[in-house]
């Protein structure tokens, strides 16, 4: 059995956990805050998946979310067009006072260089700052 290196990036956001969970579970909203990862437009395919452009993955992908938003559990799935979905990107929204901690657990892709891995983590931190700015008034 083998494992992958993972890193959990956490951002505390002063906004209702339910609002954060709903936003994170909506692929159509990701272009508004995940501006380093997604580019272009999100197209709802009508079957629970969205077509999006992810330059880091070489272009068009299919994206979907699953989970129990009322519990703050969102699993994100991303795959190149025509490829099967791999394991989920687990996202959790954990109540913290009147707000929440948003946790993204990233898994290192086989063959990813140390520089690519470190930049991916730094990018996720910036994306979560965008999410924070989006929700804190």
d(CA 84, CA 78) in angstroms, rounded, equals 9
pLDDT of residue 115: 95
User: Mean of the pLDDT values across residues 6-18?
Assistant: 97
User: Mean of the pLDDT values across residues 67-87?
Assistant: 94
pLDDT of residue 89: 94
pTM of the predicted protein model: 0.91
Using pLDDT thresholds of 50, 70 and 90, give the confidence band for residue 45: very high
What are the residue ranges of helices labelled H in the chain?
17-25, 114-135
5 φψ region: left (φ > 0), alpha (ψ -120 to 50), beta (else): beta
- What are the residue boundaries of the structural domains of the chain, listed by start? 6-135
- Per-residue pLDDT tens for 117-134? 999 999 999 999 999 999
Q: Which of 11, 20, 55 is nearest to 37 (CA)?
A: 55
- H/E element, 137: none
Please give the CATH number for the structural domain made up of 6-135.
3.30.530.20
């Amino acid at each position: 059995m083998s494992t992958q290196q993972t890193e959990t990036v956490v951002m505390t956001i002063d906004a209702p956990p339910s609002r954060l969970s709903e936003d994170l579970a909506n692929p159509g909203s990701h272009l508004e805050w995940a501006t380093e990862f997604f580019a272009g437009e999100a197209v709802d395919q009508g079957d629970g998946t969205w077509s999006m452009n992810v330059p880091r993955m070489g272009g068009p992908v299919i994206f979907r979310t699953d989970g129990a938003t009322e519990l703050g559990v969102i699993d994100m799935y991303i795959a190149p067009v025509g490829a099967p979905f791999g394991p989920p990107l687990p996202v959790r929204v954990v109540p913290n006072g009147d707000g929440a901690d948003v946790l993204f657990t990233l898994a290192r892709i086989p063959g990813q260089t140390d520089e690519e891995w470190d930049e991916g983590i730094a990018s996720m931190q910036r994306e979560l700052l965008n999410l924070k700015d989006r929700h804190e008034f």
